[in-house]
Amino acid sequence: MLLGMSGLDTETPQLGQTKGWVMVCRYHPTFILLLMRRYHHPALTQSHVCKYHHPSLIQTQIILPLEWFPLNKPSAGDYFHMAYNVITPFLLLKLIERSPKTLPRSMVYVSIIMFVMGASIHLVGDSVNHRLIFSGYQHHLSVRENPIIRNLRPETLIDSFELLYYYDEYLGHSMWYIPFFLILFIYFTGCFTPVAEESRMPVAALLLVGPSSLYYWYLVTEGQIFILYIFTFFAMMALVMHQKRKGLVLDSNGLFLFYSFIITLLLIAGWVAWLWNDKILRKKYPGVIYIPEPWAFYTLHMNNLHAAKESL
């Protein structure tokens, strides 16, 4: 679902107009939020939320399920992913162009190239992963522990699947999310104003803080990027305190992003507390930072629930 794209370079919308805001839901695995900023009258300043790829995919998977497509050919969701890999870099470039503060042009280009490479690696891994789940792959287990993988012969095939998992979940996510959060933070540094009247969020923005926070919660938990998220959040808080000493406050765009990050942290804390005593997920996610993936929770508990209902 991608709304308001035709108005990307238009002038001031009328008061109360909300077509520049995009409301979305999420789909596995994680993807992207872009804040498209329009320059218009300060009282009407808005953040335009464009969460494109996986929000659309959940509807695509319902309307056009994976089993309708040959497993050796791209599905409708895969084509949406390909469209994302083309559209989102363009939106990131527009975002950084509209920010009062930016990076050196060469660094912007390198960041965008890394982003595209990471998202493209994820496209392949994600597509294969969906087909494995369709064939019985259990996301809450490691690659070698999965019933459909551990009996493969020769055993070197298992190493190939582990390599695919590494490319998708580690290398792909790092190359994807690091430049994304870097550009998002640079955008945030330009969201300060000395005018207190500009530090007010329109009603449309307030209504979208909740969906935006839910989006970031899914981004962090499914993408396993809590460290990257929390360091970005700490940097944002430090910048807010530093700018406050100069008499600057966040404008409506910055408030929207900052509030979204705060609520996201609360959602993550609630998610972890809810699954704190889950022994199976604890085994999947050992270590100090325990943040289970929603997709792992789904394959562990919801699939079993569906199977139990079908057996009745």
At 253, is the pLDDT very low, low, confident or very high (cuts 50, 70, 90)? confident
Average pLDDT for residues 78-83, to the nearest whole number?
Answer: 82
Average pLDDT for residues 164-179, to the nearest whole number?
Answer: 89
* Token output for 264: 């996201």
Q: What is the rounded average pLDDT for all residues in the chain? A: 76
- How many percent of the chain have pLDDT more than 70? 74
**Do strands 47-50 and 34-37 pair parallel, antiparallel, or not at all (unpaired)?**
antiparallel
Q: What is the pTM of this model?
A: 0.74
CA distance 70 to 59: 19
The total domain count for the chain is 1
Amino acid type, 116: V
Output Rg (C-alpha) for the chain, integer angstroms. Answer: 21
- How many percent of the chain have pLDDT more than 90? 24
CA distance 73 to 84: 18
Return the pLDDT at 270.
96
CA distance 250 to 256: 9
Poorest-confidence range of 37-51, 140-154, 272-286?
A: 37-51
Torsion angle, alpha carbons of 72, 55, 134, 304, to 10: 180
Return the pLDDT at 242.
95
Of residues 125 and 47, the one with the higher pLDDT is 125
Q: Which residue range is the domain that position 194 belongs to? A: 5-311
> Which pLDDT tens digit goes with each residue over 103-149?
788 888 899 999 999 989 988 888 888 788 777 888 778 888 888 88
Closest alpha carbon to 293 in 212, 247, 225, 200: 225
Cβ atoms 199, 249 nearer than 8 A = yes
CA distance 35 to 188: 10
Given a cut of 50, whether residue 15 has pLDDT beyond it is no
> Which pLDDT tens digit goes with each residue over 293-304?
888 888 787 765
Return the pLDDT at 33.
36
* Token output for 69: 């497509």
Average pLDDT for residues 205-231, to the nearest whole number?
Answer: 90
Cβ partners under 8 Å of residue 228, min gap 6:
177, 178, 181
